[in-house]
Chain A
Amino acid sequence: MFWQQLLNGVALGSTYALIALGYTMVYGIITLINFAHGEIFMAGAFTGLCLVSYFKTNIFVAILAAMVVCMILGVVMEFIAYRPLRRSSRLSALISAIGVSIFLSSLALMIFGADAKGFPDTSFPVRLIRVGSAEISTLQLLIIGISALLMLALQFIVQKTKIGKAMRATSEDYNTAALMGINVNRIISFTFAIGSALAAAGGVLVGVLFNAVSFNMGLMAGLKAFAAAVLGGIGSIPGAMLGGLLLGISEVFGVAIGYSSYRDAIAFAILVLVLLIRPTGLLGKKIVKKV
């Protein structure tokens, strides 16, 4: 039972991690908490759902397509709602983000209605594989596998490519990076694109895993992922992964030992504790105030 629950936790945590990465990357570069990120996740889930239900596409094609659609959505969102506010106070951008979030979820409510919708059963064949005392479902394998793959790809892009280097530089010092000839606007667009793509993949995976896609799914998922990002140390990519997994696992174990009423409280209680003991999060760097 322990292993089974651990597996449930890792599957849930991987989806949190995928969303948390977007928060952390955007924060790392322009110190903006992108509150509309949860809605990008929701948009990804709906894109995947439409493709699978109406165009009968394969689930992998749906994930890829949802990633592309949300990449565009993320870039457009940044261009319309955040870029004009780049030079104004951080609070304005934050309010703008909340506005985008409400806009997107209301739009989804108008288009898709208020009921939760499920992926068709044929979208992914679920089988159980026995491993020791636990049973892994092929669905959990899919989720953990795809999440791991995407996170590895992200690590590769950020650490090994030229654009990744530019991202790290921009994150370290926005103005100096611009002075060194880095096209900062392009880097920011790219960051939004990558973050949104990851959230979209998370959206489709969550949609298939829990079989419920609804207009307000982004809110709680977004808040939890935000908690995961802060838990791991906001701005830190490995921190977001770790935070997501920890949050998922602790939530599932909390429910398993009978505290399901406090399921959402668990996530935020952990957040408060971490912030009290280690304000920079688990893997966050010490913030040195620049004068």
Chain B
Amino acid sequence: MTFKKIGMVVLAAVLAAGVFGCKKKDEAKEGAPAASGNTIKIGFLGALTGDVAMFGGPSLQGMKMAAEEINAAGGVLGKKIEIAEADNRGDKQEGASITQKFISRDKVVAIIGDPTTGITKVAAPIAQKAGVVLLSGGSTGPGVVENGDFIYRDTLLDSVAIPACIGYFANTLKFRNVAVITSDNNDYSVGLSQTFRDAAKSVPEIKIVADEKVKDGDKDFSAQITNIKGKNPDVIFFSGYYTEGALIMKEARKQGMKAVMFGGDGLFSPKFIELGGPAVEGSMVALGFSPEQGSPETTKFVADFKKKYNEVPGVFAAQAYDSMLLLADAMKRANSTDPKVFKNELAKTKNFKGASGTITIRANREPIKSPLSLLMVKDGKFVLKSTVAVKME
């Protein structure tokens, strides 16, 4: 049978390619990751499609804008920045293999991303082992920089943001009873809820009246909302992402609940409002960035971004933009593009005036950043409700 023969040939070719491909990868691993030639390669780790594409897409936009600005001004140490991009679709396994690919094939010196805590935690040990700097412009949960001295982030940490917010809630908004909802197959959500519970302990006015669990990808929240409804909370603290957040609020309104939702940057997406509609009016999000926060760096960034992409940048675009600038800044100060050298300068970053705020990397390599922006959904848009200053150490 000719078909059979052709099939065998194709199969043999595929197998051969596979073997050859593996060999190539092994060879690549031996070479040290340092910038060669006239370009500095930096990888973009994030989702461009899928449920968390709203975090990844803007991150890449911010990175590209920063790279163009740096290159237009002559690059870093005479070398141009080049971005290696791939789409991990919000999938942990995909994130791990893309991180490998960046390191072995693209020979990047640094990776910016992932915007989510979960994938950052998967990518961090890989980058640490290979000696490549990983700087996340989005992860805010615990367990990231603990992976080693090549791992950084420039976000407003939940452990900093949440205590600042709870004080504001208790004293200014007079909230008392809170229902906590956690998405327990989401690392970011589990960490954020724990941070919230810990922070609430030190504020006597705040009482957690319900503690429910959901899962990313769930569609039916009727049982959890019925449980919560009986406890009559003033506010629902949901630590997960925007799709589930919007659906939870829809279910809450369907069951006649009046409480608003409060959450971290995981809720911050136009999709939250698009899916939630009137159900999410009044809901609040704590962020490390608001386009209206007023510093000259922010204002310039927002204007440039609008000119380039014709839309208002969000927190992920701003933090990814800052990530790129932080890396360039560290390389300049270290006078080297070797990650083993410039990572030490990155660790010494102090009062860096970025587009998303003032960033300092502390001794434990965790960032601290001010101000905190509290955004509220009003008439179908996120508007700045209040900025809360964060004490810099």
Contact = CB atoms under 8 A, between A and B. Distances in A.
A116 interface: yes
B275 A211 contact: yes
A128 B224 contact: no
Contacts of B222: 8, 11-12, 252
Interface stretch (B66-74, B108-116, B208-216): B208-216
Contacts of A113: 49
B50 interface: yes
Contacts of A11: 222
Given A114-B50, A114-B53, A115-B51, A212 B219 contact: yes
Interface in A1-50: 1, 4-5, 8-9, 11-12
Contact of A210 (B50, B219, B255, B274): B219
A128 B255 CA distance: 7
B218 interface: yes
Contacts of B212: 260
A164 interface: no
A247 to B, nearest CB: 12
Contact of B215 (A118, A258, A260): A260
Interface in B217-268: 217-220, 222-224, 226-227, 230, 243, 246-247, 250-251, 253-256
Nearest to A118: B275
A261 B256 contact: no
A121 B277 contact: yes
Contacts of A253: 223
A137 B222 CA distance: 11
B184 interface: yes
A13 B210 CA distance: 26
B271 interface: yes
A115 B254 CA distance: 22
A139 B271 contact: no
Given A8-B223, A209-B220, A261-B215, 10 more contacts: A114-B89, A116-B243, A128-B255, A135-B256, A206-B219, A212-B243, A252-B222, A258-B213, A260-B215, A261-B185
Interface string A198-219: 0000000010011110000100
B87 to A, nearest CB: 11
A5 B215 contact: no
Interface string B183-195: 0110000000000
Contacts of A210: 219-220, 247, 251
Given A121-B278, A135-B255, A137-B255, A255 B271 contact: no
26 contacts: A1-B227, A4-B226, A8-B222, A8-B223, A8-B226, A113-B49, A114-B49, A114-B51, A116-B247, A117-B275, A120-B277, A126-B254, A128-B255, A137-B255, A206-B219, A209-B220, A211-B250, A212-B275, A255-B223, A255-B224, A256-B223, A256-B226, A260-B212, A261-B185, A261-B213, A263-B218
Given A5-B223, A212-B243, A260 B278 contact: no
B39 to A, nearest CB: 32
A165 to B, nearest CB: 38
Contacts of A118: 246, 250, 274-275, 277
A209 B251 CA distance: 9
The 7 closest A-B pairs by CB, nearest first: A8-B222, A255-B223, A210-B219, A260-B213, A252-B223, A256-B223, A114-B50
Interface string A242-270: 00000000001101101011010000000
A195 B306 CA distance: 51
Given A114-B53, A212-B275, A1 B230 contact: yes
Interface in A180-231: 206, 209-212, 217, 220
A128 B252 CA distance: 12
Contacts of B274: 118
Contacts of B256: 128, 135
B49 A261 contact: no
A116 B243 CA distance: 7
A137 B223 CA distance: 14
Interface in B288-303: none
Contacts of A139: 254
A117 B256 CA distance: 22
Interface string B297-336: 0000000000000000000000000000000000000000
Contacts of A206: 219
A277 B246 CA distance: 41
Contacts of A8: 220, 222-223, 226
Nearest to A122: B277
B247 A211 contact: yes
A206 B243 CA distance: 16
Most A CB within 10 A of own CB, among B217, B219, B224, B251: B219
Contacts of A212: 219, 243, 247, 275
B190 to A, nearest CB: 11
A133 B14 CA distance: 65
Nearest to B278: A121
A227 to B, nearest CB: 16
A108 to B, nearest CB: 14
Contacts of B243: 115-116, 212
Contacts of B50: 114
Contacts of B217: 220
Contacts of B185: 261
Given A1-B230, A212-B247, A256-B227, A263 B278 contact: no
Interface in A62-119: 113-118
